Amino acid sequence: MFGSLLRFFRERAGMTQEGLGGYAGYSKSQVAMVERGERPPKGKLVEIADEALSAQGALLAAGKKLKASRFPTWFEDYAELEAKASFINMYANHVVPGMLQAEAYARAIINCHCPPFEDEEVEAHVTARLERQRILQRKPTPLVGFVLEEHTLTRPVGGSTVLKEQLNHILEVGQRRNVEIQVMPHNREVHAGLNGPMILLESAECHRLAYVEGPGGGYFVDQQPNLGNLFAQYGSLRAQALSPEESTKLIERVADAL
């Protein structure tokens, strides 16, 4: 809402994003990110914009109530539902999912973002990701399952030292009684998850929901038959993947080889 208000006053004043950025020491892209709600206003942007755009205190008043989310806007609704779910099942085919990421690995992943985040944004995202992992220890304890593609265990994001630490972290988390981790070996000739990653949630009231993420954000699936199909696909993925015991041995071998 703050971003929309900023854009309204900027356009009313006939000023470009580049022009406003010149007043506030921002780049055009940084102003655009604030207007889209993708980053909070930093420095004196609120005060400078209020004066330069003749907002007569409207931006100042809105800025006082501004609360930056720990997560991207498109992820907020999912994070709220995940925090209360009784069952969480994830299939990851690109990198180790955030729920399983060690700090150094999470920072390396976030540093790969394009366009790049500023230093304080990187730290904020890392902190939010690590805090989200408290779900694994909350009461009542949720049941959490992961199916990871084998290549997520070998992609050296951050370097071999970071990857080895990450693999050991996965092994540690996998020892929790409420967590089950399986690996989908790369040599499987039949694969139920070729459409991409997914997250499945189930509440204490047995309400089911699926969440699918892509390059531009994520969306929910809550209608049949698509919802049922995703749950069926995940069931097939579990059957095709290595057992938790076999998966542990594979992860240990990969870690030992680093």
Average predicted confidence (pLDDT) for the chain: 91
Number of domains in the chain: 2
**Together in a domain, 54 and 79:** no
CATH classification of the domain holding 21: 1.10.260.40
pLDDT tens readout for residues 41-89: 877 899 999 999 999 999 999 888 776 555 666 577 788 889 999 999 9
**Together in a domain, 78 and 55:** no
Q: How far apart are CA 198 and CA 45, in angstroms?
A: 38
Task: Estimate the crossing angle of helix 160-173 against helix 244-257, to 10 degrees.
Answer: 160
**Together in a domain, 10 and 58:** yes
Domain end point (choices 64, 94, 111)? 64
Question: For position 205, what pLDDT does the model report?
Answer: 87
**Together in a domain, 58 and 77:** no
Domain end point (choices 64, 87, 106)? 64
212 vs 214, higher pLDDT: 212
- Are the C-beta atoms of residues 137 and 171 closer than 8 Å to each other? no
Mean pLDDT calculated for residue range 29-47: 84
Question: For position 253, what pLDDT does the model report?
Answer: 97
**Together in a domain, 113 and 232:** yes
pLDDT of 145 > 60? The answer is yes
pLDDT of 22 > 60? The answer is yes
pLDDT of 171 > 90? The answer is yes
Question: For position 71, what pLDDT does the model report?
Answer: 65
Residue numbers of the domain that contains 99: 73-257
**Together in a domain, 14 and 98:** no
70 vs 213, higher pLDDT: 213
**Together in a domain, 175 and 104:** yes
**Together in a domain, 88 and 208:** yes
pTM for this prediction: 0.75
